[in-house]
């Protein structure tokens, strides 16, 4: 069995984003970048499935600039077997990402694609569902548990009224939620080994996929600052303030 795990290079979640002076986008110059946390959970899920002796190969794939090789090396250091970089310096929308991943899936023929439910830079939560639609594969989203059984995969997912378990025939798409696992740290020996693991680089424009953007980013700005709170002496004062605000 082969697993394909897409991973995205994003601004590290510990870093406070800075807006460019012209408001055109987030300033990533000299900023610390890392693997998207939800995708890191997907890598860990793939590794755990392999430890159950059900998986032969784990392939990680990323879409982005040449520096995204660092993100792939991080996944390889965790334990993935090889990586693929679809290189492009242009921002790619979720539909374009899904189309590029579809081309890789058709070439690699994995049994399961496991990816984070969303990326923390845009929070779109669209790529997994779009990829499932393009491939016409069954999907299990927001997975909090994954089990291979009966020639398929059982995915437990959180819904509004509790937990729901769906049985998917293979091949299938799975998107991971935070509660699925706690990603492991890469050991120093594995970090060294990752440097010699195979990593193929493809050029996005050469894959014959339409990734032209459908949206235009007009402006990026900081959220408005919150007003300071007001201390009141009594419940009557509180009700008066609420009425002044037009809440009541």
For the chain, domain boundaries: 2-245
55 CB-near residues (< 8 Å, 6+ apart): 1, 2, 3, 46, 49
Contact predicate 5/46, CB 8 Å: yes
**Sheet containing 57-64: which strands, arranged edge to edge?**
162-169, 152-159, 139-149, 172-176, 112-116, 2-6, 57-64, 82-87, 199-203
| Per-residue pLDDT of the chain in tens (248 residues, 90 and over written 9) | 999 999 999 998 888 888 888 888 888 888 888 999 999 999 999 999 999 878 899 999 999 999 999 999 999 999 999 999 999 988 899 999 999 999 999 999 999 999 999 999 889 999 999 999 999 999 999 999 999 988 899 999 988 888 899 999 999 999 999 999 999 999 999 999 999 999 999 999 888 898 888 888 888 888 888 888 888 889 988 888 888 888 77
DSSP designation for 142: E
The class of domain 2-245 in CATH terms is: alpha beta
CA–CA separation, 181 and 44 (whole Å) = 7
Tell me the pTM: 0.86
Q: Which two tokens stand for residue 107?
A: 């070439």
Q: Which residues contact residue 237 at a Cβ distance below 8 angstroms, ignoring those fewer than 6 apart? A: none
Which string of DSSP letters, residue by residue, matches 180-191?
Answer: G--PPPPPHHHH
Tokens of 212: 């032209």
């Amino acid at each position: 069995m082969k697993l394909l795990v897409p991973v995205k290079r994003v601004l590290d979640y510990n870093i406070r984003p800075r807006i460019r002076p012209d408001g055109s986008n987030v300033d990533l110059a000299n900023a610390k970048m890392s693997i998207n946390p939800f995708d890191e959970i997907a890598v860990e899920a793939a590794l755990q499935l392999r430890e159950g002796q059900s998986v032969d190969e784990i392939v990680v794939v990323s879409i982005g600039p040449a520096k995204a090789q660092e993100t792939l090396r991080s996944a390889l250091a965790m334990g993935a077997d090889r990586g693929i970089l679809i290189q492009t310096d242009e921002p790619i929308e979720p539909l374009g990402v899904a189309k590029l991943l579809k081309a890789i899936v058709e070439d690699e023929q994995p049994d399961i694609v496991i990816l984070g439910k969303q990326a923390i830079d845009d929070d779109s939560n669209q790529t997994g569902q779009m990829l499932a639609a393009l491939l016409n594969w069954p999907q299990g989203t927001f997975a909090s548990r994954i089990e291979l059984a009966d020639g398929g995969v059982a995915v437990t997912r959180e819904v509004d009224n509790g937990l729901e378990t769906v049985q998917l025939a293979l091949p299938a798409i799975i998107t991971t939620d935070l509660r699925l696992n706690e990603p492991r740290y890469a050991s120093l020996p594995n970090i060294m080994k990752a440097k010699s693991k195979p990593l193929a680089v493809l050029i996005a424009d050469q894959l014959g996929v339409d990734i032209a953007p459908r949206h235009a980013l007009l402006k990026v700005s900081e959220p408005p600052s919150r007003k300071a709170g007001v201390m009141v002496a009594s419940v009557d004062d509180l009700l008066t303030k609420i009425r002044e605000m037009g809440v009541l």
